[in-house]
Amino acid sequence: MDVPSYTPLDTPIPAGEVVIERASTAQDLGPKLNRTAADVVRFLMHQGEMVTATQSLSDDMIELFAAELGADIRLVDPGEEQELELQKLLEVGTADLFDGDDSGAPGRPPVVTVMGHVDHGKTLLLDRIRSANVVAGEAGGITQHIGAYQVERDGKRITFIDTPGHEAFTAMRARGADATDIVVLVVAADDGVMPQTIEAINHAKAAEVPIVVAVNKIDRDNADVQKTMAGVAEHGLVPEVWGGDTIFCEVSALHETGLEDLLDQVLLLAEVEDLQAPEEGRAGGVVLEAHLDIGRGPVATVLVQRGMLEAGDPVVAGAAWGRVRALLDDRGDVLHQAGPSTPVQVLGLSEVAEAGDPFVVAPNEKVAGRVASAREHWQRQSSLGRDAHALSGGARLEDIFTRISRGEAATLNLIVKADANGSLEAVTGSVRKLEADEVRIGFVHRGVGGITESDVGLAAAANATIIGFNVRPDRKARETAEAENVEIRTYEIIYKLLEDMESARAGMLAPEIEEVVTGEAEVREIFRVPRVGAVAGCYVQNGEIRRGSRVRFLRDGAVIWKGAVSSLKRFKEDVRTVSSGYECGVGLSDFQDLRSGDVIETYEEREIARTSEG
C-alpha cells in the first residue's frame, strides 16, 4: 500500500528558534512544532524511515522534519537545560567555582601540560623529570593511568599533565590545555613540526596560555635545532633569541640534558603569571582520567583547581558520585587532603567518571546522589537517539565490502572496549568520522575494561564486531567467541585500527597477523632477587609458558606491557617450558611493576591471508 505524502498543516510553526532534545520521540517532537505525532510518523514513513510514535528519533530524522516545515531548531543533549537547576542544588554555579576572582588568594603551583606529536619523546621526557624526583629505592616510571604528578625544583612544586600525542586524542589535549597554566611543546629536533604539533599549538593558543618549546632529541646525529626552531616560528612561536617572546629549551630526554633549565624556565614563567587559588571552601576541579580497577573499583584522576579536597568529602563528577574513600598521589601514597593544582586519584565513586567532567564537593551525600542520578538519566536519554539504529540490519567488519558491492547500505555494529575513558572517547570519535552514505556505524555497547564473555554474547546477538583498544579478551571470552563466530579485533595503536576500518570498507583487507595465545599464567607471589630484580611466582592456568615467548602483561584485562619471557624456572632449575597446572618462576625482559593477580599471556604470530569475498 502506498504511503500518503505528507502535506504540511495550516497551523503555523512556532516563531524563532525551537530547542529540541536529542532522542526525542514523535510524541515529543510534534507538539513542539505545532504538529501531531501522527504527522511526524507519516512524514518519516514517506522518507523510508519506519518509526513508531514512541521510538527515539535520530538527529537526522528530527532535522529532516524541521526542514520540511521550515522550522528553526537547535538540538541539545537531554538534560542540558536542567543542568542549571542541578548547579543550584549543589549551591554553586560553574562560573563561581571555576572563574571566580582569585586576587588575594595564596599562590599555587603551576599546572603544566606536555603536548607534542607522537614519538617525539613526551613520555620519556616526563619519565626522566619524574625519576629525578623519585626517592632512592622507589620504582621509576610513570604510574599506570594517573598521567599527572608533581615534582619539586628548588623547593617549589610543579604539576605535570601528560596528554596523548595522536590526532584522535584532540579532545583530551583540548581538556589538558583548558586545565593548564603553561604548555610545554615537545618537538623532536630530527623530525621537526608535524600535524599533531600544529594541533597542540592551536590548542595552547586557544587556551591563551604561555608556551615553552622543548626541542628534544638534540643528541641525534641528524638533529637540526635551527631548522626545527624555524619550523615552529612559522606558526607564530618566535624564539626569544630571534627577538620573539617564546622560550626555547634544547633537551635530550634520553641523556637527561637540559631538564633542569626547562624546569627553571617553567618556574620563571609561573612567577610572571602570579598564579593564585583559594585553599578554603568546598573543592572543585576537573577529572583528567578515569578507569575501573577490579580491586579498588572506579578510580578517577582529578586535578583540584580550588578549595581543599579531603578524604570523606561527598563529591559529584558528572553522573558519578560518592564519598571520597581515599586520596592517592602518583606514587600510590595515601593523602589526607589535596589543595589547588594537586593531581590525585580518588577512590569511592559509584561508577567510572567521564574524562573532562568537572567535579565538585557537594553540601552532603543526599544532594550528591540526587544530582548524579539526574545527570545519569539525561545522559541515558541522550545516548538512545545516537544509537537508535545500532541493532537493526547490522553487518560485521569483514562483511562490509560485500554488502556495499551489492549496492546495499550497511550498518556496522561495534562493541568497543578500552583501557580508560579517555581512550574510549578517542576511539569512538575517530570511528564515527569513518561513517559514509553506504556505511553507518552503530555502537551496541561501549565500556572500560577487558573483553568479557558477556560482551561476546551481546556481539553474537547483535551481529557485532568487538573492538578492543589496549585491552584483551579473557580465556572464556575467546572460547565463546570461537564457538559463536564472533570477530574480536584488538589494537594498541589507533592508526592500525583506523586503517583496518578503511580497508574493510574499500574491500582491501591486508593479510592479517593472527595472534595465537599459547599460554596464560596468573601471578601469585612476587620475589625480589639480587642483581635480577622482580621475579613472578606464577601458576600456569592454560596452555604452556615457554622461555623466550612473546608476552603481554595484563592487569584487569588491560595491556600494560609487552615484551618477552627472559627466564623460566621450576623450583631452582632453568626449564624451557612449563605446562598447565604447574607453578613456575617467570622473569620478564625489562618489566618490574609486578602485582599479585596480574596475568601473563604468551602468544605467537601467524600470517593469514584475508579476503573480503563473502
Per-residue confidence band for 143, with pLDDT thresholds at 50, 70 and 90: very low
Task: Give the model's pLDDT for residue 498.
Answer: 80
Residue 406 has pLDDT above 80, yes or no: no
Pair 318, 347 in one domain = yes
Pair 175, 123 in one domain = yes
Per-residue confidence band for 274, with pLDDT thresholds at 50, 70 and 90: confident
Which CATH number fits the domain that encloses residue 189? Answer: 3.40.50.300
User: In the numeric block, which cell numbers belong to residue 134?
Assistant: 623519585
Pair 248, 343 in one domain = no
Q: Which of 382, 412, 433 is the last residue of a domain?
A: 382
Q: Are 385 and 414 in contact (CB under 8 A)?
A: no
pLDDT tens digits along 161-176 = 876 655 445 555 555 5
In whole angstroms, what is the distance from residue 343 CA to residue 582 CA? 43
Task: Give the model's pLDDT for residue 261.
Answer: 94
pLDDT tens digits along 463-495 = 788 999 888 888 888 888 888 888 888 888 877
Q: Which of 459, 482, 510 is the last residue of a domain?
A: 510
Q: Which of 465, 491, 510 is the last residue of a domain?
A: 510
Pair 247, 394 in one domain = no
Domain contains 400: yes
Task: Give the model's pLDDT for residue 248.
Answer: 95
In whole angstroms, what is the distance from residue 278 CA to residue 104 CA? 9
Pair 592, 577 in one domain = yes
Task: Give the model's pLDDT for residue 324.
Answer: 94
Pair 120, 262 in one domain = yes
Domain contains 419: yes
Domain contains 82: no
Pair 356, 411 in one domain = no
pLDDT tens digits along 207-265 = 788 999 999 999 998 999 999 999 999 999 999 999 999 999 999 988 889 999 999 99
Domain contains 191: yes
Q: What is the mean pLDDT of residues 13-21?
A: 83
pLDDT tens digits along 188-205 = 999 899 877 887 887 778
Domain contains 56: yes
Pair 577, 559 in one domain = yes
Q: What is the mean pLDDT of residues 133-139?
A: 42
Domain contains 9: no
Instruction: Give 193 or 512, the one with higher predicted confidence.
Output: 193
Pair 333, 462 in one domain = no
Mean pLDDT of the chain: 80
Instruction: Give 80 or 440, the one with higher predicted confidence.
Output: 440
pTM: 0.61
Q: What is the mean pLDDT of residues 111-127?
A: 84
Pair 53, 22 in one domain = yes
Residue 139 has pLDDT above 50, yes or no: no
- Of how many residues is the chain composed? 614
Pairing mode of beta strands 314-317, 533-546: unpaired
Q: Are 184 and 113 in contact (CB under 8 A)?
A: yes
pLDDT tens digits along 409-461 = 567 788 899 888 878 888 888 888 777 666 677 788 888 888 988 888 878 87
Instruction: Give 607 or 269, the one with higher predicted confidence.
Output: 269
Domain contains 8: no
**Which domain does 128 fall in, by range?**
111-273
Pair 248, 322 in one domain = no
Task: Give the model's pLDDT for residue 505.
Answer: 60
Task: Give the model's pLDDT for residue 188.
Answer: 93
User: In the numeric block, which cell numbers belong to residue 249?
Assistant: 629549551
Domain count, the chain: 5
| Residue matched to cell numbers 514517506 | 46
| Low-confidence winner among 198-202, 246-250, 296-300, 594-598 (lowest mean pLDDT) | 198-202
Pair 238, 198 in one domain = yes
Task: Give the model's pLDDT for residue 382.
Answer: 57
In whole angstroms, what is the distance from residue 434 CA to residue 432 CA? 5
DSSP string, 516-538: EEEEEEEEEEEEEETTTEEEEEE
Domain contains 613: no
Which CATH number fits the domain that encloses residue 430? Answer: 3.40.50.10050
Instruction: Give 431 or 539, the one with higher predicted confidence.
Output: 539
Which CATH number fits the domain that encloses residue 601? Answer: 2.40.30.10
